[in-house]
Structure 1
Amino acid sequence: MPSTIVMTGASRGIGRAAAQRILRESPDTHLLVVARGSSGAGPAADLGTGGHRVSYVTADLGSLESVRSAADEIRERLEHGELPPLHGFVGNAGVQCTNALIEGPEGFETTFAVNVLANHLFVRRLQAHFVRPARIVITVSDTHFGDLRHNLGMVPGPAWRSPDVLARPAAFPELHTTTAGRTAYSTSKLAAIHLVHEHARRLPTGIDVIAYNPGFVPGTDLARNAGSVSRFAMHRILPAMILTPFATSRTAAGRHLADLAVGTTVAPTGCYVDRAHVARSSAESYDPRRERELWDAAERLTAAHTA
């Protein structure tokens, strides 16, 4: 039966591979790509070759007003019958900055805005339009464990603060440094898992929400804001690691994400999927008190864009 899946981060890397597989394995799907500015036109056209149904809406995920506008456009298209019923949302887009100072138009730190608040706002704005069974997948990262086994010494572990502090620039020491930017990244991914747990408690039965960890995937554009040395290593040296158990290829990571999105991979709501298997996230990620606090903060911080 025809259905719509909304997807962020489908233009390149893991997301592009996942989008291609979704359309190939689930040909009745209308894939709605969320992309910045006009950057969605090319990928939507490429993905739509061969008769696949693909369209796009524009959004700057660092701006909550832009996210709200995109979500409302999607809602209108669903209500007017321009799109088949909504059965999925894939929040795959993510950003890692070179410091903890960059802020969006509403004053929120960009890493937290894109990796946490944008997904929360999309889910909340679209919630009433999901047709059950539906599945929401949020891409997270094993850097949230904060140990050498999971981050290979490249990304500092999370440093939790009050959500109101995390949402603003300068939440971490040495805020001008790459270390601060990467700490913001791992912390945002821990926050994303917390919100998956809380969404799972609050969403109606039949709307499942899952945290997906692709593992370390070299060669993606996650390091696009890093220095030249880091970009060179990510694109020219580290890809060799896909021959080891410590890394995942873009194709494999995209396949795992797509299989989650369309329900091929069996996974209960609120769970953490490590590549292709349900697993335990870090001990720190299971904290109902912190999850409620983060939920309340996310609701308050996005309130101006949910009315």
Structure 2
Amino acid sequence: MQHTIVMTGASRGIGRVAAERILRLSSDVHLLVVARESSGALPLAELGAGGRTFSHVAADLGSLDSVRCAATEIRDRLERGELPPLRGFVGNAGVQYTNALTAGPDGFESTFTVNVLANHLFVRLLADCFVAPARIVITASDTHFGDFRHNLGMVPGPAWKSPDVLARTGAFPRPDTATAGRTAYSTSKLAAIHLVHEYARRLPHGIDAIAFNPGFVPGTGLARNAGPLARFAVRRIMPVMTLTPLATGRGAAGRHLADVVLGTTRAPSGSYVDRGRVARSSQESYDPGRERDLWAAAERLTA
């Protein structure tokens, strides 16, 4: 049966690999990619080569107004029958800044906006459009563990605070430093897992929510806001690590993401999928009280 999957973060990196695999393996999928116009219409249009069903809605994920407009457009197209039934949302887009002072047009810290609030707004505005069985997949990160085994000492662990504090700039010590920017990133990924747990509690039966961890994937563009030396290391030196168990190649990570989206990787709602298998996320990530508080704050901040 023809159905729609909405996806962010499909224009490059693991998302691009996943998008191509989804379209190749599932002829009944209409893939609707949400991306900035500046991502380039031509590279995105290439996803539709060979008769594969693809469309594009423009949005700046750093702006909640822009996200709201994109979600409304998708709803309208679904209601008019221009798109087949909605059975998937993939929140794969993510950002990491070199400070914790970057704010978007809504006044919220940009890492938290893109990695947490934008996904939440899409899920909430499209929630009653999903047709079961459906799957919501949010890309997380093993940096949320905060230990050397999972972050190789490159990213500080999360530093949880009230969601109203996390949503604002300057939430972490020395907010003008790369350390604060990376802390904002790992904390946002912990928040994403918290919300996946809450979605699993609140969404109707048959609409599953999954957190997906691709592992450490060098060269994906996540460090595009870093300095020249860091960008060079990520693009040219760290990819060698994919020859070891310490890192995952972009192709493998994209395939794992596609398999989670398509349900080839079996996972119950609320799961944390570490590459190709269901696993436990960090002990800190299981906190129902914190998850309820984050839900309430996300509802308020995106209202």
- Pick the TM interval, shorter chain: over 0.9
**TM superposition shift of 1:43:** 3.0
**Pairwise CA distance, 1:40:** 5.1
How far apart, CA to CA, are the structure 1 residues paired with 2:225 and 2:88? 30
Amino acid in structure 2 at the alignment position of 1:281:
S
State the shift of 1:39 in Å: 2.3
Q: What letter matches 1:153 in structure 2?
A: G
Question: Which residue of structure 2 aligns with residue 135 of structure 1?
Answer: 135
Corresponding residue SS for 1:221:
coil
Give the match for residue 115 of structure 2: 115
1:100 aligns with 2:95: no
Q: How far apart in 1 are the matches of 2:182 and 2:210?
A: 23
Trace 1:239-258 onto structure 2 (pairs within 5 A).
239-258=239-258
Contact 1:40 1:56 in 2 (8 A): no
| Equivalences for residues 33-112 of structure 1 within 5 A | 33-39=33-39, 41-112=41-112
For 1:185, the equivalent position in structure 2 comes to 185
- What secondary structure is seen at the aligned counterpart in 2 of 1:102? coil
Q: CA deviation at 1:27?
A: 1.2
Q: Secondary structure at the residue paired with 2:69?
A: helix
Give the letter for the 2:253 counterpart: A
Hey, which bits of structure 1, 4+ residues long, moved more than 4 A? none
Q: Which residue in 1 is equivalent to 2:266?
A: 266
Q: What is the aligned-residue identity percentage?
A: 77
TM-score (normalised: structure 1): 0.98
2:198 is matched with which residue?
Answer: 198
Name the counterpart of 2:176.
176
Per-residue deviation, residues 3-33 of structure 1 (Å, max 9, x unmatched): 1000000000000000000000001111000
Name 1:9's counterpart in structure 2: 9
Q: Which amino acid aligns with 1:270?
A: G
The CA RMSD over aligned residues, in Å, is 0.7
Give the letter for the 1:186 counterpart: S
The whole-number CA distance in structure 2 between the counterparts of 1:89 and 1:43 is: 21
Structure 2 stretches lacking a partner, 5+ long: none
Task: Write the distance in 2 (CA, Å) between the matches of 1:260 and 1:274.
Answer: 10
Deviation of residue 45 (structure 1)?
1.2
Cα offsets for 1:38-85 (capped at 9, x unmatched): 425223310100000111001111111100000000001111111111
Cα distance between partner residues in 2 of 1:40 and 1:154: 31
Measured in 1, the distance between the counterparts of 2:42 and 2:223 equals 22
CA distance in 1, matches of 2:43, 2:299: 32
TM-score, normalising length from structure 2? 0.99
Contact 1:38 1:58 in 2 (8 A): no
- CA contact under 8 A between 1:34 and 1:40: conserved in structure 2? no
Partners of 1:286 and 1:148 in 2: CA distance = 20
Structure 1: any 5+ residue segments left out of the alignment?
Answer: none
